[in-house]
Structure 1
Amino acid sequence: MFALAVSAAGFATIYLLRHCAGPSGVARSLTKTLSTGLLAAAALFAGAPVLLVAGLGLGAIGDLLLSRSGARTFLAGLVAFAVAHLAYTFLFLNAGAVPANLIAPERNPAALALLALGIAMGWRLWPVAGALRWPVLVYVGIIVMMGMAALSLPIPPEGPYDPLLAIAAASLFILSDAILAFELFLLPATHRLRRISPYVVWVPYWLAQALFLAAFAGLT
């Protein structure tokens, strides 16, 4: 399991250094997919919860799809990640997250702040997302729900997992997606920040997936 996780980190580093801001191609797709796919394999061999394996596996599928160009593959990748976030949400609920905090986030100020952030993101992206506005809005809702579920995990935990790592992972995932949304829909095509935005998206994203594995597969 540990060797698979280390291999995943190696492919993630290769992707970061050689392919992150590059054009679509076999090498780019392969390194990006293996970066998360090997984490899913590590979770599977570790006997981790099925929902964790599913979330990581769907993330690998999403990585493959988003490594290609085209509106259809982007939408398919968005769907893959949305279902991955649903898997993580149910993983957290099974681990003891309090469902009432998803319905009444005022019981959890951090969850309430995240909900406000999600509403602000949806409001800002709606007029600029074009034909993707509904899929993007649904995706924002799902990832916010995942984050709220993570913030609702009991501390100390009710099982063999690390809730603080899970919360960190969810936070990094939301940060990465927020930066990606800014890059895709708000940042001008010629802006100089586009030179670094793919790297700023990739690092917190991959760390989030690795921390999900660490939190629920005993890699700490």
Structure 2
Amino acid sequence: MTNLPILLGLFFAAAYFPLTSSQPSWSRSVIKTIPLLAFAIAAFVAGLGPYLVAGLFLSALGDFGLSRDGDASFLYGLSAFALAHLAYILHLLGISGTQVWDAFSSAPISAIVLVGLMMSTELWLATHTGHLQWPVRIYVVIIGVMGLSALTIPFGWTVVGAGLFILSDVILAINLFRMSDTHHHRLKAGYAIWAFYIAGQMLILWGGLQG
């Protein structure tokens, strides 16, 4: 039963690639929203737990928000993803049975690198986000804590998925706030964001399916 929604999600994820840099439209929004909605259904059918299902479903809402135009839609999408990461934090810490700071003992180098990346956003990101500075700062902290939570569990698909999710958000931040609309790498950045994002979410789901 779980294979059908997963395959449906991957089909629409592939269908979205040509649309990554196109103008907002309702058809584009629908196609972008379906993959994570399908992944959430797969997780629900498989009985993978409320926090994982919630994280995937909230990510679908975030995809819809970021597919629309304007600051209000961006903040809606950002808020949905922040809530998704909070759900993932509860999911991951539930698996490990530890606390976030235990990442510094289970994977010290990765944890220090992640915190360094979070702190560096004050230099290359926060000062370029204008009136969205504080929402972006809060989101950076939340996704950073999600990454640290992933480091408290044994290395596997879920940890790789969380890492790819963070990588996609780093590229997204550069794409939104540091690249001009005519930048020669903008199209490639759109492809990379979607590829890393879908791969990350799929691996988080797959990690749950593998127990």
- TM-score per shorter chain, which class? over 0.9
Contact 1:122 1:140 in 2 (8 A): no
Gapped runs of 5+ residues in structure 1?
A: 156-162
8 Å contact 1:106–1:112 — kept in the other structure?
A: no
- Give RMSD over aligned pairs: 1.6
Tell me which of 174, 182, 191 is aligned to 1:182: 174
Q: Partner residue of 2:42?
A: 42
**What is aligned with 1:70?**
70
Where does structure 1 differ by over 3 angstroms across 4 or more consecutive aligned residues? none
Structure 1 pair 50–101 and aligned structure 2 pair: CA distance change class (3 A): same
Q: Identity of counterpart residues, as a percentage?
A: 37
Partner of 1:208: 200
Runs of 5+ unmatched residues, structure 2: none
CA deviations over 1:117-146 (Å, ceiling 9, x no partner):
111023321211100000000100110100
Structure 1 residue 76 displacement after superposition:
0.7
* Contact 2:100/2:148 (8 A) holds in 1: no
C-alpha separation in 2, matches of 1:100 and 1:74: 28
State the shift of 1:97 in Å.
5.2
Aligned pair 1:112/2:112, yes or no? yes
Instruction: Report the count of equivalent residues.
Output: 209
The equivalent of 2:13 in structure 1 is 12
The yes-or-no answer on 1:93 pairing with 2:85 is: no
TM-score (ref. length: structure 1): 0.90
Listed one character per residue, the Cα deviations across residues 141-189 of structure 1 (whole Å, up to 9, x for unaligned) are 1101000110111x3xxxxxxx511110110011000000001111133
Separation in 1, partners of 2:60, 2:40? 8
1:93 and 1:99 in contact (8 A); partners too: yes
Match of 2:184 in 1: 192
Q: CA offset at residue 106 of structure 1?
A: 6.2
Matches of 1:122 and 1:144, distance apart in 2: 14
**1:4–1:39 contact (8 Å) kept in structure 2:** yes
- TM-score, normalised to structure 2, is 0.94
CA distance in structure 2 between the partners assigned to 1:135 and 1:212 by the alignment: 25
- 3-state secondary structure, aligned to 1:95: helix
CA distance in 2, matches of 1:212, 1:121: 25
